[in-house]
Amino acid sequence: MLVLLQRNVPETVANDVASRLRMFGLSVHRTDHDGQVRIAAIGESGAAEWDTVRSWPGVAETRAIGAPFKLVSRVFRPHDTVITVGRCTIGSDQLALMAGPCSVEGEEQVFTIAAAVAKAGATILRGGAYKPRTSPYSFQGLGEEGLKLLRRAADANGLAVVSEVMDSQQVQLLARYADILQIGARNMQNYTLLREVGHTDKPVLLKRGLASTIEEWLMSAEHIVSQGNAQVILCERGIRTFETYTRNTLDLNAIPVVKELSHLPVIVDPSHGTGIRNKVAPMARAAIAAGADGLMIEVHHDPDHALSDGAQSLYPEQFRELVEQIRTIATVLGRRI
Ligand code: PEP
Ligand code: MN
User: How many Cβ atoms are within 10 Å of 179's Cβ, its own excluded?
Assistant: 19
* pLDDT for residue 135 is more than 90: yes
Element (H, E) at 30: strand 27-33
Q: Identify whether the C-beta of residue 93 lies closer than 8 Å to the C-beta of residue 334.
A: yes
Average pLDDT over residues 123-130: 98
Q: Is the pLDDT of residue 45 over 80?
A: no
Nearest to 114 by CA among 169, 78, 83, 151: 151
Task: Supply the pLDDT for residue 239.
Answer: 98
User: Residue 226: enclosing H or E segment and its boundaries?
Assistant: helix 214-226
| Cα–Cα dist 61/21, whole Å | 14
Closest CA to 69 of 260, 295, 237, 290: 260
Chain length of the chain = 337
Any ligand 1 atom below 6 A from CB of 208: no
Residue 69: pLDDT over 80: yes
Q: Please state, in angstroms and rounded to a whole number, the distance separating the CA atoms of residues 241 and 248.
A: 7
Q: List the residue whose alpha carbon is closest to atom 4 of ligand 1.
A: 184
How close is the Cα of 180 to the center of ligand 2, in Å? 16
Angle between helices 144-156 and 107-120 (to 10 degrees): 40
Is residue 238 within 8 A of residue 251, CB to CB? The reply is yes
Average pLDDT over residues 69-92: 97
pLDDT at residue number 46: 83
Ligand 2 centroid, distance to 315 Cα (angstroms)? 15
pLDDT in tens, 150-186: 999 999 999 999 999 999 999 999 999 999 999 999 9
* pTM for this prediction: 0.97
Distance 85 CA to ligand 1 centre (A): 20
pLDDT for the residue 7: 96
Which pLDDT band, with edges at 50, 70 and 90, does 263 fall under?
very high
Distances (CA, A) of 34 to 14, 75, 91: 15, 16, 18
Q: Residue 175: what pLDDT?
A: 98
Cβ(207) to ligand 1 under 6 A? Answer: yes
